[in-house]
Amino acid sequence: MTKRTFGVIGLAVMGENLALNVESRGFPIAVYNRSPNKTEKFMAERAVDKDIKAAYTVEEFVQLLERPRKILVMVKAGGPVDAVIDELKPLLEAGDMIIDGGNSLYEDTERRTKDLEATGLGFVGMGVSGGEEGALLGPSLMPGGTPTAYKELEPILTKIAAQVEDPDNPACVTFIGPGGAGHYVKMVHNGIEYGDMQLIAEAYDILKNGLGLSNEKLHEVFGQWNQTDELNSFLIEISTDIFAKKDPETGGHLIDYILDAAGQKGTGRWTVMSGLELGVPIPTIYAAVNARVMSSLKEERVAASGQLSGPGKTFSGDVEAWIPKVRDALYCSKMCSYAQGMALIAKASQEFGYDVNLPEIARIWKGGCIIRAGFLDKIKKAFKDNPQLPNLLLAPEFKQSILDRQGPWREVLMLANEMGIAVPAFSSSLDYFDSYRRAVLPQNLTQAQRDYFGAHTYERTDKPRGEFFHTEWLD
Ligand code: 6PG
């Protein structure tokens, strides 16, 4: 039997689907899963007539692979990844490579890359976005780590990735950078995903509970929004579908029966923590994570709702006139959210030596991933035209878009406030815009206070930066 080109360890649904995707592009596969039942089931149900060979020990699995061995590990992030690496390490030879396709913390990936590179092996921490369907049909791939290992993998990854229309390169994959760069960018992708999802949820809240739109009307409005250059995206598309979905049990709209307590696995929180550590403001993403936390306090909120009342105002304006304003508010907030995410990647790239190519990041997010959206073309262009762009909002296309729409954006926030509808991500986005665009902020007072109570010193507006002063405030 000829040796296998590619191996997959871990046959949960993402591992299975990626194995099938690679096989469908003409590469012979070997698979291994710790519990043999899972392997048998996969072979019997999904691998019939496919060029896939199962192994039942790690040793047998490694022997099936041609050199340099290319092994994709699709197990739970954290300890299980280290356990698989420890098992594989003594069986591999110089030049072989391990790819971790889970949502691993980039700092773990940094450590694993260093460890494995020191032994002559390659390690690629690869963000994979697109859920189950993406994994099977074409995900967006964010590989980082050992550059020579990526070169070996490139022909396979290029074939399995989502393909889009793009004059530079249709395959939604690129080498992100060394060490943990791939998982860092995937983490920020997820932070942006949290931001997008929360912004859409707030638009929904205003339209439904503010303007009183029915699910049928929401389906229609989201469907129209999905046809616009500004909002065309996977998340708007699936929201359109969601509003139309009926519940087989009750016959009503399923959305109305889904409990409002959001789960999270941690990548949004990691993004926020990294923003704080690197000193990059990402308030929209933070608001999105926080909104999920608040939503999870369901019982407490139910109890509080009986005691704390809001303004009790009902909407009495022209619904049709307000819908486009909500759309504009959503788009402005979304621009701020992406500006934050891209700024975070740029800072991490400097700080960690990743040398990330921002136009390439926008390009590989155009297809396959959860945040795929029409306006990523504009983001790509913005960073291509000016690689030193300090903030997306300063790119000509975005600057004008936000300036043209800030009126309705502010009106929508006032409406939400008047009606007592919480819009944390919309508000954080507007605050981001209003802070970023102002030459002077009130932190002169903060500095005075710090100096007053702690002699922390301050700089002066009439002296060069870097000169520090202290005042005896009580004299
Ligand atoms: C993707 C998703 C994927 C997964 C998230 C969900 O890009 O395909 O981001 O990685 O759905 O882990 O994250 P939460 O459970 O935290 O919402």
Pocket of ligand 1 contains residue 130 by CB under 6 Å: yes
Query: In DSSP terms, which residues pair with 141 in a beta bridge?
Result: 128, 173
**Residue 154: predicted pLDDT:** 98
Please tell me the predicted confidence (pLDDT) of residue 475: 76
Which residues lie below 8 Å from residue 57, measured CB to CB, with a gap of 6+? 32
Nearest atom, ligand 1, residue 103 CA: 10
CA distance 268 to 264: 8
Give the Cα separation of 242 and 108 in Å (integer). Answer: 36
Q: Residue 66 carries which DSSP code?
A: P
Cα(265) to ligand 1 centroid in Å equals 7
Cis upstream peptide for 167 (omega within 30°): no
As a whole number of angstroms, the distance between CA 161 and CA 174 comes to 10
Q: Which two tokens stand for residue 395?
A: 């790119």
Per the annotation, the verdict on 117 as an active-site residue is: no
pLDDT tens for the chain, 475 residues long, are 689 999 999 999 999 999 999 999 999 999 999 999 999 999 999 999 999 999 999 999 999 999 999 999 999 999 999 999 999 999 999 999 999 999 999 999 999 999 999 999 999 999 999 999 999 999 999 999 999 999 999 999 999 999 999 999 999 999 999 999 999 999 999 999 999 999 999 999 999 999 999 999 999 999 999 999 999 999 999 999 999 999 999 999 999 999 999 999 999 999 999 999 999 999 999 999 999 999 999 999 999 999 999 998 899 999 999 999 999 999 999 999 999 999 999 999 999 999 999 999 999 999 999 999 999 999 999 999 999 999 999 999 899 999 999 999 999 999 999 999 999 999 999 999 999 999 999 999 999 999 999 999 999 999 999 999 999 999 7
Query: From the alpha carbon of 264, which atom of ligand 1 is closest?
Result: 16
Asked if the peptide bond before residue 387 counts as cis, ω within 30 degrees of 0, the response is no
Pick the CATH number of 6-179 from 3.50.30.30, 3.40.50.1970, 1.10.3190.10, 3.40.50.720: 3.40.50.720
Rounded distance between C-alpha atoms, residue 332 and residue 326, angstroms: 10
Is ligand 1 within 6 A of the CB of residue 14? no
| 441-475 and 186-437 share a CATH fold | no
CA nearest ligand 1 atom 7, residue: 129
* Residue 138 · residue 129 · CB < 8 Å: no
Catalytic residue among 23, 193, 202, 230: 193
- CB of 264 sitting under 6 A from ligand 1: yes
Q: Report which protein residue has its CA nearest ligand 1's atom 1.
A: 129
Buried b / exposed e along 301-322 (16+ C-beta atoms within 10 A): eeeeeeeeeeeeeeeeeeeeeb
Residue 204: both structure tokens together: 């929904």
Other C-beta atoms lying within 10 Å of the C-beta of residue 98? 28
Q: From the CA of 186, give the closest atom in ligand 1.
A: 7
Task: Compute, in angstroms, the gap from residue 105 CA to the centroid of ligand 1.
Answer: 13
Q: Which amino acid is at 47?
A: A
- Tokens coding 62: 């490694």
Q: Which one is the CATH code of 186-437: 2.40.240.20, 3.40.50.720, 1.10.1040.10, 3.40.640.10? A: 1.10.1040.10
- Tell me the torsion sign for CA atoms 285, 290, 292, 293: positive
Mutate to test the pocket of ligand 1, among 234, 270, 370 (most ligand atoms within 8 A of CB): 370
CA–CA gap between residue 53 and residue 45 (Å, rounded): 14
- Which candidate, 155, 235, 145, places its Cα nearest to that of 186? 145
CA pseudo-torsion sign 405, 407, 409, 415 = negative
CA of 186 to the centre of ligand 1 (A): 10
* Shortest-distance atom of ligand 1 to CA 267: 16
Q: Is 196 in the pocket of ligand 1 (CB under 6 A)?
A: no
Report pLDDT for 1: 67
CA–CA distance from 166 to each of 107, 144, 370, 386 (Å)?
Answer: 32, 22, 18, 19
**Is 334 a catalytic site residue?**
no
Q: Whose CA is nearest to atom 12 of ligand 1?
A: 265
289 lines ligand 1 (CB under 6 A): no
Task: Give the tokens for residue 272.
Answer: 């926020």
- Residue 262 CB less than 6 A away from ligand 1: no
Instruction: State if residue 464 touches ligand 1 by the CB under 6 angstroms criterion.
Output: no
Give the residue, by CA position, lying nearest to ligand 1 atom 9: 190
Q: Which residue type, as a one-letter code, is found at position 146? A: T
Using a 6 Å cutoff on CB, does residue 265 contact ligand 1?
A: yes
Distance 92 CA to ligand 1 centre (A): 31
For 212, other C-beta atoms within 10 Å of its C-beta total: 11
Q: What is the 3-state secondary structure (H, E, C) of 263-285?
A: CCCCHHHHHHHHHHHHCCCCHHH
3-state helix, strand, coil in the chain (%, to 5): 55, 10, 35
Q: How far does the centroid of ligand 1 lie from the alpha carbon of residue 267, in Å?
A: 8
Looking at ligand 1, which atom is closest to the CA of residue 265? 16
Q: Is 15 in the pocket of ligand 1 (CB under 6 A)?
A: no
Q: Distance between CA atoms of 338 and 285, rounded to whole angstroms?
A: 9
Residue 366 falls in which region: left (phi positive, over 0), alpha (psi -120 to 50) or beta: alpha
CATH class of the 441-475 domain in this structure: mainly alpha
Give Cα separations from 191 to 184, 267, 363, 380 (angstroms): 11, 7, 18, 19
Q: Which residue's CA lies nearest to atom 11 of ligand 1? A: 131
In this structure, what are the phi and psi dihedrals at residue 115, rounded to the nearest 5 degrees? -60, -50
Phi and psi, residue 265, nearest 5°: -105, -5
List the catalytic residue out of 70, 186, 334, 378: 186
Give the domain ranges of the chain: 6-179, 186-437, 441-475
Q: Determine whether the shortest distance from the Cβ of 114 to ligand 1 is under 6 A.
A: no
Nearest to 346 by CA among 359, 333, 338, 356: 356
